Amino acid sequence: MPRLSVWMVRTALLYLGVGFTIGGLLLFNKGVYIDAAIWRLRPVHAEIALIGWTLQLALGVAFWILPRLTRTERYGRTWLAWSGYGLLNAGVLLLAAARWNNGPAELTLAGRVLELLAVAAFAVYLWPRVKPFGK
């Protein structure tokens, strides 16, 4: 597995653990009441579990498993994919922080823009790797 995939899949695994833990808190609190403030973690839970875990895992595995470009080029413009990794996680963390306490709408917007740039970078990077093997 190439290095970026190791980073992405491991980061995704951490988000899975944290996302499940927050989800567990929400569910516990729904059944056996602890504190009303826990409910505010709901959008944080959704962000971390959907983007941090599911999407990041899919992109990390795609970087690993899709056909390489050519024998010499191999992974190609990896800086694009690494930028995508950085932007995606900056976006998730910013959104988690911003949405927890109903923070300023500008922060949430900034987080969404970061995520958009991340997936755009990834889409551009992955595009030429979606091709027949060995061509």
Partner 1 sequence: MPRLARWYIKAGLVYLVLALLVGVLLQARTVIDLPGWAGRLQPVYLHLLIVGWITQLIIGVAYWMFPKFTREQPRGSETLGWLTFGLINAGLALRTIAEPQAGDLGWVLAVSAVLQVIAGWLFVINTWARVKER
Applying CB under 6 A, the residues found at the interface with ligand HEM are 19-20, 23-24, 26-27, 30, 42-43, 45-46, 49-50, 53-54
Nearer to partner 1, 23 or 103 (CB): 23
Per rule CB under 8 A, is residue 6 in the interface with partner 1? yes
Q: Which of residues 34-63 bind partner 1 (CB under 8 A)?
A: 49-50, 54, 57
Residue 61 near residue 81, CB atoms below 8 Å: no
Query: Contact region for partner 1 (CB under 8 A) — 28-36, 78-86, 106-114, 120-128?
Result: 28-36
Q: What is the largest CA-CA distance in the chain?
A: 59
The nearer residue to partner 1, 7 or 100, going by C-beta atoms, is: 7
Paired tokens of 85: 């990794």
Which residues, other chains included, contact 38 with Cβ-Cβ below 8 Å and sequence gap of 6+? 25, 26, 29
Q: Which does 131 bind (CB under 5 to 8 A by kind): ligand HEM, partner 1, none?
A: none
Half-sphere exposure of 2 (CA within 13 A, CB side): 18
Alpha carbon dihedral 109, 115, 116, 117, in 10-degree steps, equals: 110
> Of 43 and 76, which has the nearer Cβ to ligand HEM?
43
For ligand HEM, give the closer residue by CB, 53 or 85.
53
> Taking Cα atoms as reference points, which of 118, 111, 115, 13 lies closest to residue 57?
13
